[in-house]
Amino acid sequence: MKIGFIGLGIMGSRMAGNLQKRGHSLIVHNRTREKAEPLLSHGAIWADSPAEAAAQAEIIFTMLAPTHAVAEAALGKEGFLPGFEPGRLWVDCSTVDPSFSREMAEAARAHGIRFLGAPVTGSRSQAALATLVFWVGGAAEDLESCRPLLECMGNRVAHVGGPGMGAALKIVINQLLGTGMAAFAEGLVLGESLGLSRSVLMGALLGGPAVAPFLTFKRERIETGNYGPADFPLRWLQKDLHLAALSAYDSGAAMPLTNVAKEIYQLAIQEGHADDDFSAIYDYLARNAGAKRPLSEPVEQPA
Ligand SMILES: NC(=O)c1ccc[n+]([C@@H]2O[C@H](COP(=O)([O-])OP(=O)(O)OC[C@H]3O[C@@H](n4cnc5c(N)ncnc54)[C@H](OP(=O)(O)O)[C@@H]3O)[C@@H](O)[C@H]2O)c1
């Protein structure tokens, strides 16, 4: 099957690579062509625009951010929807808000194209190892028609519901990632201000009931202060908190914690952390919210 893949960033490049490793022919497009080179050197065909990709592909995957880049790829001046043969399938794996995903489903339908919103859980290494989880919103028969392709890129494919429902679940997950990361960072700052060493805090908290399991994988970054290259860029985590806030506005849910966390990430972006891994929120808070007057010098404590 000829697969069009648009968006070859951290995630898309690795997902497309796994389709290629499993023997699929790729037609690829990315705003920055050089990111396509590894795929091109293994036989992928370059398309100068999304429209050019659609002219040759039997199915199209998109993996883009921010949200308007998805709309532009589909419906912009050189967008793929108008030239894509009716009856074909578009699978959008980008993290977008549910109402946008439903809008894209409707735009696709107007062009006779089938649509699935299939955002993923997992980051750089899960994308590389093909262990992503797909949260799919759309028609069950459309999912079944592309399930083998999703299984080249992930090890779990969940049908969440109709259009927009995969996006809804993904937004909830990232709302928890964003607030959980910020809360943990603030907890570290508090503990350190009280004289607890970072290693005691990490040893006591990580793997315990008070913090989320994903934080264990952020330990090394926080301990070394090495936040690049990002697994998940802080700017996209802030984007997802914004999408959660927008979605909550639509649904009437109040999101006080999410909105405060979103603004903390915005402040970190303004301080230069946009392209860092989102765990750099610790660095931002430690610099700006850390105690100016430690209660005591840190003392050696048993782990
Ligand atoms: N990284 C993660 O851990 C993770 C996990 C799950 C889901 N996601 C989601 O996956 C999607 C891609 O994220 P990523 O982590 O792969 O980020 P990334 O490396 O920054 O990739 C972003 C992609 O969007 C393209 N893009 C950005 N602005 C554009 C514009 N104005 N017009 C056209 N294309 C544009 C980029 O093109 P260039 O290469 O030219 O910049 C690149 O292909 C996002 O929706 C993100 O929320 C990420």
From ligand 1's centre to the CA of 32, what distance in Å? Answer: 11
Atom of ligand 1 nearest to the CA of 121: 6
The answer to whether 53 touches 47, Cβ cutoff 8 Å, is yes
- The pLDDT of residue 79: 98
Atom of ligand 1 nearest to the CA of 73: 33
The mean pLDDT of 233-245, rounded to a whole number, is 98
Report pLDDT digits (tens) over 205-225: 999 999 999 999 999 999 999
Distance CA 5, CA 105 (A): 18
Distance CA 81, CA 104 (A): 10
The catalytic site residues sit at 170
From ligand 1's centre to the CA of 289, what distance in Å? Answer: 30
From ligand 1's centre to the CA of 296, what distance in Å? Answer: 44
Closest residue to atom 29 of ligand 1, CA basis: 69
From ligand 1's centre to the CA of 174, what distance in Å? Answer: 15
Q: Choose which residue among 63, 78, 217, 279 to substitute to test ligand 1 binding: the one with the highest number of ligand atoms within 8 A of its C-beta.
A: 63
Report pLDDT digits (tens) over 30-88: 999 999 999 999 999 999 999 999 999 999 999 999 999 999 999 999 999 999 999 99
Ligand 1 site residues, Cβ closer than 6 angstroms? 7-12, 30-32, 35, 63-65, 69, 72, 94-95, 120, 123, 231-233, 236
E strand or H helix at 13:
helix 10-21
- The pLDDT of residue 168: 98
- Looking at residue 100, its amino acid is F
Which of 266, 273, 281, 274 lies closest to 183 in space, CA to CA? 281
Distance CA 227, CA 278 (A): 8
Distance CA 254, CA 276 (A): 29
Report pLDDT digits (tens) over 125-166: 999 999 999 999 999 999 999 999 999 999 999 999 999 999
Q: Which residues contact 37 (CB under 8 A, 6 or more apart)?
A: none
Q: Choose which residue among 10, 104, 279 to substitute to test ligand 1 binding: the one with the highest number of ligand atoms within 8 A of its C-beta.
A: 10
Q: Domains in the chain, ordered, with CATH?
A: 2-162 (3.40.50.720), 168-289 (1.10.1040.10)
How confident is residue 290, by pLDDT bands cut at 50, 70 and 90? Answer: confident
Task: Give the phi and the psi of residue 136 in degrees, each rounded to 5.
Answer: -105, 130
- The pLDDT of residue 303: 58
- The pLDDT of residue 166: 98
In the chain, what percentage of residues exceed pLDDT 90?
95
